[in-house]
Amino acid sequence: MTRLNLRAAFMSGASSAVAAQQVFTNRVDEVAAFRRSLTALHQSLADAPISPVVDRIQGRRNVLSYYGVGGIGKTTLSHELERLFLTAAQDDGRQDVVAVRIDLSEDGASDLEGVLLRLRAGLGQLGSRWQAFDLALAAYWERAHPGEPLQEFLDSSPAMRRASRSVGLNEQFTSNVGAVLPPDLGGLVGIAQRAALGTYRAIRDRVREGRLLSDCDLFAELVEAEADYETLSYFPYLLAWDLDRQTKRGKRPQVCVFLDTFEALGGAADRTAERFLQRCVYLMPNVLFVVTGRNRIDWADHGTSGELDFTGPQCWPSLHFSNDTDEPRQHLVGYLSDSDADSFLREALTEDGAPAMPAPVRERIISGGQGLPLYLDLSVSHFVELLARGAQPSVDDFGGSFTAVATRSIRDLSQEERDLVRTAALIDRVDAALLRAGQPSLSDGRIARFLRRPFLTHDDAYERPYALHAALRHAIGEADQGLPDGWSDRDRAEVANRLLRWLGRQLEPDTGRVLVAQALESGLRLSGSYGIFEDWMVRAAQRLVEAGQWTSIGAGLAGGSTGSPEFRTISAAIQGVHLRRTGRAPEAVAVLDGAQAGIGSGSLAAHFVQLHLAHALRNAGDYKRAAEIYRDLLGGEFDAAARYWLCDYDYLNGRFVAALEALRSERAGNAAEEGERLRLIGHIWRVNARFAEATDAYTQAIALARGEGLAAAEAKAQANLAQTACWSGDASTVAAAAERARELLDLVPNPVELVKVRSAEAVAAAMGEDHAAARRTVADTRRLTDGIGYRGGHNLADVAEILLNVRAGDYEAARRLRAELDERTRASGGNVYWVPVATSWIDGVDSAAQDPHAVDWVDGPEAALGRWAQAVVQR
């Protein structure tokens, strides 16, 4: 099923409606609302004649939202609701209650693969039988991550590692997949390419035979769809489908997912990550999502249908502004009342069972805090600090604005700790090593004591487990300006630069993709806020792009107006990559063109932009300008890529001798690059009709790819082998290579290679005198070409159709088509050699050798074109 159809299938029946946007102002009992929401959700599931998991038209009533200003206590509320939820289950002796927590502000927390695996790990507490999801994920994983064991990904971050190992997630996956697949396949724990291919094919074949989960609607479509994030974002439906089947004796499991700091997604300019998460929530209507953030969720409002899929009050009746009674719904988290604030202060500090704070001090704090919980927390810390210094706290020591409270909190600290809290305020999360990088002169003991301060929260599920509240981080920046030893903007930038350098030093060649993405997100935030930049961010971004994980590098770009010119440049480059990879090459060119203005032309960030501008130009068909840019990149960081693509440009324009000499003069740096070099050598031999040499080059590339487990590289080489064998009339080799290529392209989809395979089959049919099959296959080649916007595919179809006309004796039709091919190749600036080749078939070698195209054949025009003429002689 194509992506468009897959999207339509899941959205069938859903629609958006016009609605005004208003803000709730009513105060509610948040805990009671949570309990009512649990009851209402499970009652609606029990009463539904058709499960909403299956009936995807039903409006969703599974989101409970608490929103309000920073420091109001939303995260504390979220943790308290989770505690109450699990405590109640324990008191009732229930083993089928699960809570999953995700803080969306954490680096990499919104990565779709990580979100789904954390959900699956949480649900694994209910048992190991999650067959639909696990099998679909196995098919996805082995295509999206060929050669990468799942366990390596699960161990890539502390939060993921702890969640997965607590339930034996990898073992559950292996058991479920092993129950379906033959015992000789490696499955998710295997690393061999053949095991990967076998896993996907075995699942796919059983689906097609109707012997696997035929009762799960759209399971087959999800298994066979492209292995990308777009497809993966629909996998929560499979988790919900499996969860539906966990109901035993009428008792339904209770699952709550707590999504904290939702503004990290909802406030981003690019809502791609939010769209993926929204699909997750919509497709899991049997799970209660408790969302906390600064802003009201706008999914039920008018005007979001262009950015999100499931929008409007029909989809989210409980989130609509008009719903002010039915739970679950949206609640504005108000400030604490004076009486609640007083109760907090009375209970926060006690002496002999009585409140330690005198009533006048409490009144002063309540008056200044206006019910903001974080204000109360800081005031309590200040009271304790005064007592520790032997002072008697008085009314005059308290009150004032939040910034004033933050100022007092800083003053309470020693000089070393003031520098540490300022350092911690620069970045979202810290640990001892990062603080030491920011303040290298401080001792380990001083840093360890600072990390025990009460205003720091701790969660060992994260790589860097300590954090200041976001509102406090902002207030410290303001408060610091009024202190005698406060940091200047330059001071902050210098410390931020030390942090940025430390993040870069943690990255090694074998560092996992998730950690690379997390470091890059933190680095981009520092860069955008403090006007600093480090080249390691360019290399990290390129590494993620090359790995196909370009969706992982956008979260840190919001709010970068104060960033350096290099930061703005890399921001534009990342946007351009997003556009190009989503098939919008002209838009990518518009964004990338001139994006490096204002920075040195020799900087790594400028070269990064130029490289991706050249790639976008190639995709858009402007080979000439792309080649000019590649020439400018010679001798720099991307020299190897530039040299390869310039050789490719020479090949496309018939400068075979120059391209062949350049390719022979040096070997590539790694197996993937060497395979590309061998294939390009094969291309040159093939279009010179030196088919034996071409076959040898492609065979070497195939062997190298197999040895290294490079499925994508082998798929390309197999397609090229078919393109070579078709001219010698070797139908059996064409069929075998085409079949193998298609098998691999199931694993690592690449529609361009499918066009090449189909064009080779068209030539083979023409050479075999099966004219009807040849014409059908030419038409298929053109349809595939138009479907993906691959302009070169029509050149291949033209060549096959000219051959067909020549062998059928219709030379006039062949000449007309040759004229179209001539016009097309001249316009694109590539594949010009096909016109003289076609002329050798139509008008003979002598006429072809006089062709105005300046093709530099490897052994002269007479020899090369003579071989081409001989290749199509009727046998």
Q: What angle do CA 787, 789, 791 make, to 5 degrees?
A: 125
CB-CB neighbours of 742 under 10 Å: 15
CB distance 286 to 274 below 8 Å: no
Of all residues in the chain, the percent with pLDDT exceeding 70 is 89
More confident position, 673 or 536? 536
**For residue range 129-169, what is the model confidence (pLDDT) as tens digits?**
899 999 999 988 877 777 677 887 887 777 788 888 888 88
Given a cut of 60, is residue 845 above it in pLDDT? yes
Least confident piece of the model among 332-336, 591-595, 611-615: 332-336
- In whole angstroms, what is the distance from residue 9 CA to residue 289 CA? 24
pLDDT score recorded for residue 503: 94
Q: Look-up: residue for tokens 């649990």?
A: 38
| Amino acid of residue 281 | V
Picking from 114, 100, 121, 133, the residue whose alpha carbon sits closest to that of residue 168 is 121
Average pLDDT, integer, range 379-402 = 84
**For residue range 442-457, what is the model confidence (pLDDT) as tens digits?**
999 899 988 887 678 7
More confident position, 3 or 46? 46
- Name the segment(s) of the chain with CATH classification 1.25.40.10: 653-871
Nearest-10 Cα torsion for 220, 223, 228, 234: 50
Average pLDDT, integer, range 355-380 = 84
Least confident piece of the model among 6-20, 586-600, 657-671: 6-20
Average pLDDT, integer, range 598-609 = 88
If phi > 0 it is left, if psi is from -120 to 50 it is alpha, else beta; for residue 201 that is alpha
Least confident piece of the model among 180-184, 353-357, 362-366, 541-545: 180-184
More confident position, 875 or 564? 564
8-state DSSP, 100: E
290 in helix, strand or coil? strand
Q: For the chain, how long is the longest CA-to-CA vector?
A: 110
750-755 long-range Cβ contacts below 8 angstroms, 24+ apart: 750/712, 750/715, 750/716, 751/784, 751/787, 751/788, 751/790, 752/788, 752/790, 752/793, 753/715, 753/716, 753/719, 754/719, 754/784, 755/781, 755/784, 755/785, 755/788, 755/790, 755/793, 755/796
pLDDT score recorded for residue 134: 93
Picking from 857, 874, 872, 842, the residue whose alpha carbon sits closest to that of residue 690 is 857
- In whole angstroms, what is the distance from residue 847 CA to residue 826 CA? 19
More confident position, 190 or 507? 507
Buried/exposed code over 15-27 (b: 16+ C-beta within 10 A; e: otherwise): ebeebeeeebeee
Question: How much helix, strand and coil, in percent to the nearest 5, is found in the chain?
Answer: 60, 5, 35
- In whole angstroms, what is the distance from residue 872 CA to residue 522 CA? 60
pLDDT score recorded for residue 247: 76
Q: Can you read off the two tokens belonging to residue 235?
A: 């996998």
Given a cut of 50, is residue 771 above it in pLDDT? yes
Specify the CATH number of the domain 653-871.
1.25.40.10
Of all residues in the chain, the percent with pLDDT exceeding 90 is 39
- In whole angstroms, what is the distance from residue 255 CA to residue 100 CA? 8
- In whole angstroms, what is the distance from residue 299 CA to residue 305 CA? 9
Average pLDDT, integer, range 336-350 = 81
Picking from 586, 588, 569, the residue whose alpha carbon sits closest to that of residue 577 is 588
pTM confidence score:
0.63
β-strand partners of 254 = 97
**For residue range 186-200, what is the model confidence (pLDDT) as tens digits?**
445 443 334 445 677
Give strand ranges (E) for 301-417.
330-332, 350-351, 354-355
pLDDT score recorded for residue 738: 94
CB-CB neighbours of 873 under 10 Å: 8
pLDDT score recorded for residue 76: 83
Residues sharing a CB contact under 8 Å with residue 162, sequence separation 6 or more, in sequence order = 461
Picking from 779, 732, 789, 728, the residue whose alpha carbon sits closest to that of residue 758 is 779
CB distance 478 to 403 below 8 Å: yes
Given a cut of 60, is residue 12 above it in pLDDT? no
Q: Residue count of the chain, please give it.
A: 875
Architecture in CATH for domain 511-632: Alpha Horseshoe (1.25)
